[in-house]
Amino acid sequence: MGGHLLDLRSQLGFYKFYHNNPKNVFIHSIFVPTILFSSCCMLHRVTIYHGISLTALLSVFFFLFYCLLYLPTGLLAGLLLLLLNLALVDHRIHLSFKQEVSLFVIGWIFQFIGHGVFEKKRPALIDNVVQSLVLAPYFIMFEFLFKLGFMPQLKATLEHDLEIKRRNFGKQK
């Protein structure tokens, strides 16, 4: 289901298959960034080498993967990750570990509510944990860009691909 690792259409299509109910996408639009933010805050507490946090290292990997998928949006995602990292390094974010964990848990609760109540489909992370966790913030960024009217052809292509997957999925049942 995950397709080619560095094919944007395939990667977004994988994620879109599990996230096409508007209410679920809205919930994810709020709580994927919440999970990303709280994860970055928690992982920033882990220093791996000369003051470099685990958040900084993972941000570089996310940035590279996103750029390999599609450079313009990869650069935008990288800028957002850089700003978050700078805010953490400069101590502009003041949350306790308990607050970070609370945001993280609340984010996940709402994700599962979105899938169970609105999507009526298991979460993508059941089929591919790593792909889902890495791709989720990028997918949400694309959803936001689509709402602003950017990349209408890509949006239409993903919706067309989704309709074909739905038909094929229905035939398999």
Tokens of 165: 């997957």
What stretches of 2-67 adopt beta strand conformation (E)? 47-49, 52-53
Q: Note whether 41 and 50 are within 8 A (CB).
A: no
Residue-level pLDDT at 128: 83
pLDDT at residue number 103: 98
Mapped to the 3 state alphabet, what secondary structure does 56-118 carry? HHHHHHHHHHHHHHCHHHHHHHHHHHHHHHHHHHCCCCCCCHHHHHHHHHHHHHHHHHHHHHH
CB 42 within 8 Å of CB 54: no
Q: What is the pLDDT of residues 31-64, one digit of tens each?
A: 999 999 999 999 999 999 999 999 999 999 999 9
Cα-based angle 88, 125, 82 (whole degrees, multiple of 5): 20
Per-residue pLDDT band for 23 (boundaries 50, 70, 90) equals very high
State pTM to two decimals.
0.91
